[in-house]
A and B are shown apart, each in its own frame.
Chain A
Amino acid sequence: MNPPMATPAPATSATASLWDLASLVDLEIAVTQEKSLDDADLKHRDRAFFKHYRGQGGPTASRSRAFRAWVEDRRREAIKDIPTPGQEAEAWLGWIKSLGAMATFLLGATWAWGALTLHGSPVNVLTFWFLTVGIPLALTLLGFHLLLGRRLPHAPQPPLLLKRLLAKLLVSGVLRTEHLLTERIGSERELSLRARAAELRARFSDRHGLVSARLANTLHVLGLGMVLGIFAALFAFKGFSNQDYGWQSDAACVTAARVDGFVSIISLPWTCVLGSDVGHPTTREIASTRFFRNEGVRGMNHAASINWSSFLVFSSLCWGVLPRVILLLAGRAAARRQLRAEDFSQHRFDALWRRMTMPDISIESSGAEEPQSISAAVMEPDQSPAQGSGVLLMPQELWSDKLRQNVTNRLEIQHGRSSREVRSMPSLPAPRAALLDELASLALGERMDLHILQESFMPPVREFRSFLTDCRARLGARASLRVVLIGARTGDGTWAAPSGQDRSVWLDRIAAIGDPRISILILEPPATP
């Protein structure tokens, strides 16, 4: 008997943590990889997991929760200290984000520093504000626009002719590259790579929201690096440089009053908190720091310059860094919401869900045995001469005059055996024993020729074989015992020929008794008129 397969109880937590990118990637990879594995083993594992998960009170109707716990379970099975593909992907993404943020920080700082020093003194605050605060703010606003689910305006399309020309050039180049690539890596590998790419595309095709949320989140990190770089450059410039600041515009509509209004609006956030005269020049200072192109600095107010510089630093903080931080946090929340909204109802997860929720049914034998090998003993046809007292035993239930007559006739015609007496043979051992007593008394002093009629399709069971050995014991060594085989009855007193298979079974079993004077006679059916 085979013991039931022991299944280690999975250390599942029904309250597994929420979805993150690493878990999602791990789930996708596991589902793809396990598609080609043995389904029975997976079924056993996943069903055991689900039962344990359910036992711990995990919500069984939610694919999302169950799959999350399943991913944790797979991670526990994995080799320790080796990150899973999802964790690796997450780590790589983290590195890319960090390096990207550092790069954009440097870019922002360089951008701001360069803009401040490029044209020398005085710095035109209006232009500089537009470059270092206005553009990042516009990009941040665009980020909010997209975050709220709005679409980007359509980009202008190039003329059709130009597009076609470009397409033709591209096709030519692509074809040649493709040819070289195929020659280099072989067409099978190329097609396999294409298939993988298509698989990857398919994985993301139903997760546009999630992919764009993650992408936007990465862009927000890069954007934050940029505005922090600008802010740091402005802050440093304020501390280490004595450069003058002023404003200049060729447009007639840009007057000191309008610039004052603009400054008041921009500085509103911090003046509300820090006081009305902090971090921006006064109306008089604004009027006094206007300068004109190509006229250089004439009696520039240095105190006003310091206030302009504070205005820029505060502007960068309030309109550059803070909105970007808010956008980053909102973007993260959106990405988390997207992950939480995943219901994994896509078809590719059905198999896993079925394996978990459908009962695992097994029916196994407790130990199969090999078929019995029986030596195919073939007995010689019975050539022994007919003896004195021929007795035919007919099973009681087959008893009929017609059958008795036909059997005795066939025995005589086919085998030259006559039956002086025909007796009915009971089927139970006790009456058979009584019959045997009677036969023994008949056999005294004679060599008995005993024929026992049997239907070949009935198996030669131990009980019948025991009866034969009892016959031998009671009738003596000189008695001839013959099992007369007929096939299934076909009518009143007629029968079919025993099948080859049945003959062979009877021959084997009778031979196994080991008595050379017990033989088998096959009785062919009587000819039908």
Chain B
Amino acid sequence: MDGKATIPTFAVVGQPNEGKTSVIATLAEDDRAPIGPRPGTTRRLVRYPVRVDDDEVMVLFDTPGFESPGACLEWLQAYRGDANAAFAFVSHPTHRERYPEECEILQPLAHGAAVIYVVDGDREPRDPDRQEAEILRLCGVARIGIINSKAGRGRYVPAWTRLMLKDFNTLREFNACKAVFADRIELLQAAASVVPNWKDSMRMTVSALSRGWEERLENSAELMLDAMELIIKFRSKEHFDSDAGRVRAKAKAKLAVEAKVRATEQAFRGKVRKLFRHHDDHWDLPPNLEADIFSADVWRLLGLSKVNLVITAALTGASLTALIDYLLGGSSLGLFALAGGVAFGIGAWVSADHAVRFKLPLLQLWPLRVPGVPLGGTYVEAGIESHSKLPGILLDRMLLFILSAASWAHGRRDDGNPQLANLPGPEAHGILNSLDKDDRLKVMAAVEVLHRLAEGKPLSATHVDTAENEFRNTITRFLKSRTMGNADG
């Protein structure tokens, strides 16, 4: 069991239709791997090299299921040669024709690959399973047992544990349809321990994968900030020169803002999907993400609650105006901070339910009737209401979507809501409300900065950079805590 292969190599083997390809697809993040409900979807050996900077650091092999385990076992039990049993079986002149599946399975084992043996924890172990386990033992390779309870019940996990405990180096439960990044890393870490020669290489691979994941989470936070910036800075402008025209212009400007919000959110989702290597829109989203962002249900359920919104706005306002108290050396007794807090709080209370804010120029020139010379007229400018619930809703939906993309296993092919890792009722309360106060403030402070920039208010580059960095760090930390578990160590 020394692992003759120079780099960690694992062959995923098992009975037909036990979810071997699902395990591979989840480990390799390949949502295009052919997975079917019928046995025999995989008919030949498929190689999945894991490359870090073009260097192959690990190889996974997807294999067909055992089709003649009894015959294979009888042959191996009768074999008395000096050569590696798997190699001898594969090299036999008639086996390629008589036992093509077994030859495909034993091929990587003949070259020193370790085995990841996949079984379904929702069915009882049977004789063919015992035969397969014995075949693997006779091949003399390192063995990792994976109990992949396809239906998610795991009723026969104890029976499988009893069967495999003796002859396998390590045993794990791993649901290929629900595994999140932390589960994948945990499995690879377990695999690292079975062949001492591969330990360093596997540690490097796991570390590279963890860093790669962190990079994705940082990029996700970045995408969130970009999308928020695009939406908050967007202004729709419509000219008008009569009272009737004003109503039309306002409606038109509002529609343009709403369309921009929807389009930006769609573009954001596309980028996140790509970031997490989901090629197709192949999963159903939770209702709060599926529904239109301006729908009443979404507004009721997501975003900061009105109380949280008012508290956050008041604290943000107070922190912004506290500077004046500071400049006055405290002689104002914090009155400016108090006034700022109250003003922002009231603003948030009044405009919480309005998504769009309209702005008219201070000086409005009504049309002058000079024949042939158009004079006067004015315009209405629409943008996102700064104290509205909308930014919070957007953030919530973006976070939920990132978590959906990050936690939807690539080996899963059915439609259904993704398992959101450790999310305390995300659909009911949104994520922002579940953040602690400090983190919530940091996130909303960045949103406030974006609003102020959009309104052309002067802000120092350092202030903007600090707020944006706080936002990114907070979001990245949150996503790490939800998707990486202990894998970030």
Q: Which residues of A contact B (CB under 8 A)?
A: 1, 4-5, 7, 35, 38-40, 47-48, 51, 168, 171-172, 175-176, 179, 182-183, 187, 190-191, 195, 198, 205-206, 346-347, 350-351, 354, 358-372, 374, 395-397, 427-430, 432, 455, 457-463, 466, 488-489, 501, 504-505, 508
Chain A nearest CB, measured from B475 CB (Å): 13
* B36 in complex: contacting residue of A363, A372, A504, CB < 8 Å: A372
Q: Check B53–A360 contact: CB distance below 8 A.
A: yes
**Inter-chain CB contacts under 8 Å: number:** 187
Sort chain B's interface into a size bin: 35 or more
* A429 in complex: contacting residue of B70, B219, B235, CB < 8 Å: B70
Chain A nearest CB, measured from B375 CB (Å): 7
Chain A: which residue is nearest B459 at the CB level? Answer: A205
Residue B327 CB within 8 A of the other chain? no
Residues of B within 8 A of A175 (CB): 361, 363, 365, 378
* B127 in complex: contacting residue of A1, A38, A205, A395, CB < 8 Å: A395
27 A/B residue pairs, CB under 8 Å, sorted by A = A4-B49, A4-B54, A7-B54, A39-B275, A40-B274, A172-B363, A179-B377, A187-B238, A347-B465, A347-B468, A351-B222, A360-B53, A361-B52, A364-B48, A365-B33, A371-B41, A372-B40, A427-B131, A428-B73, A458-B128, A459-B65, A461-B67, A463-B128, A466-B68, A501-B38, A504-B38, A508-B38
Residues of A within 8 A of B472 (CB): 347
- Residues in B317-346 with C-beta less than 8 Å from chain A: none
Residue B359 CB within 8 A of the other chain? no
- Residues in B199-214 with C-beta less than 8 Å from chain A: 208-209, 211-212
Q: Check A488–B124 contact: CB distance below 8 A.
A: yes
Chain B nearest CB, measured from A385 CB (Å): 33
Residues of A within 8 A of B167 (CB): none
Residues of B within 8 A of A190 (CB): 237
Q: Check B53–A47 contact: CB distance below 8 A.
A: yes
Residue B396 CB within 8 A of the other chain? no
Q: Check A364–B34 contact: CB distance below 8 A.
A: no
* Interface-located stretch among B24-32, B140-148, B287-295, B301-309: B24-32
Residue B37 CB within 8 A of the other chain? yes
A360-B53, A361-B51, A362-B51 as given contacts; A368 in contact with B34, CB under 8 Å: yes
- With A182-B239, A361-B50, A461-B128 given, can you name 15 additional A-B contacts, CB distance below 8 Å? A40-B274, A354-B219, A359-B53, A359-B211, A360-B54, A366-B46, A367-B46, A369-B44, A371-B35, A371-B36, A372-B38, A427-B70, A461-B69, A488-B123, A488-B124
Max chain A Cβ within 10 angstroms of own Cβ: one of B51, B70, B74, B236: B70
Chain A: which residue is nearest B205 at the CB level? Answer: A361
Rounded to whole angstroms, the CA-CA distance of A24 and B212 in the bound complex is: 29
Residue B71 CB within 8 A of the other chain? yes
Residue B246 CB within 8 A of the other chain? no
Chain A: which residue is nearest B361 at the CB level? Answer: A175
Rounded to whole angstroms, the CA-CA distance of A60 and B361 in the bound complex is: 52
Chain A nearest CB, measured from B398 CB (Å): 17
- The contact string, 1 if C-beta is below 8 Å from chain A, for chain B 226-248, is 10000001011111000000000
Rounded to whole angstroms, the CA-CA distance of A428 and B361 in the bound complex is: 88
Residues of A within 8 A of B237 (CB): 182, 187, 190-191
Max chain A Cβ within 10 angstroms of own Cβ: one of B40, B60, B69, B378: B40
Chain A: which residue is nearest B207 at the CB level? Answer: A359
Residues of A within 8 A of B385 (CB): none
Closest 9 CB pairs of A and B: A427-B127, A462-B67, A366-B47, A363-B28, A459-B39, A206-B461, A459-B16, A463-B68, A361-B212
Q: Check B40–A363 contact: CB distance below 8 A.
A: no
Residue B282 CB within 8 A of the other chain? no
Q: Check A462–B219 contact: CB distance below 8 A.
A: no
Q: Check B363–A168 contact: CB distance below 8 A.
A: yes
Q: Which residues of B contact A (CB under 8 A)?
A: 15-17, 27-30, 32-44, 46-54, 56, 60, 62, 65-71, 73-74, 101, 123-124, 126-128, 131, 208-209, 211-212, 215, 218-219, 222, 226, 233, 235-239, 274-275, 361-363, 365, 375-379, 461, 465, 468-469, 472
Residues of B within 8 A of A354 (CB): 215, 218-219
Residues of B within 8 A of A505 (CB): 38-39
Chain A: which residue is nearest B209 at the CB level? Answer: A361
Q: Check A364–B49 contact: CB distance below 8 A.
A: yes
Chain B nearest CB, measured from A395 CB (Å): 7
* B40 in complex: contacting residue of A40, A191, A367, A374, CB < 8 Å: A374
Chain B: which residue is nearest A178 at the CB level? Answer: B379
Chain A nearest CB, measured from B480 CB (Å): 15
Chain B nearest CB, measured from A479 CB (Å): 23
Q: Check B51–A363 contact: CB distance below 8 A.
A: yes
Rounded to whole angstroms, the CA-CA distance of A172 and B378 in the bound complex is: 11
Rounded to whole angstroms, the CA-CA distance of A175 and B239 in the bound complex is: 11
Q: Check B128–A428 contact: CB distance below 8 A.
A: no
Q: Check B361–A358 contact: CB distance below 8 A.
A: no
Q: Check A365–B47 contact: CB distance below 8 A.
A: yes
Rounded to whole angstroms, the CA-CA distance of A516 and B165 in the bound complex is: 44
Chain B: which residue is nearest A345 at the CB level? Answer: B465
Residues of B within 8 A of A395 (CB): 126-127
Residues of B within 8 A of A427 (CB): 70, 127-128, 131
Rounded to whole angstroms, the CA-CA distance of A429 and B211 in the bound complex is: 50
Rounded to whole angstroms, the CA-CA distance of A364 and B65 in the bound complex is: 21
* B101 in complex: contacting residue of A364, A430, A462, CB < 8 Å: A462
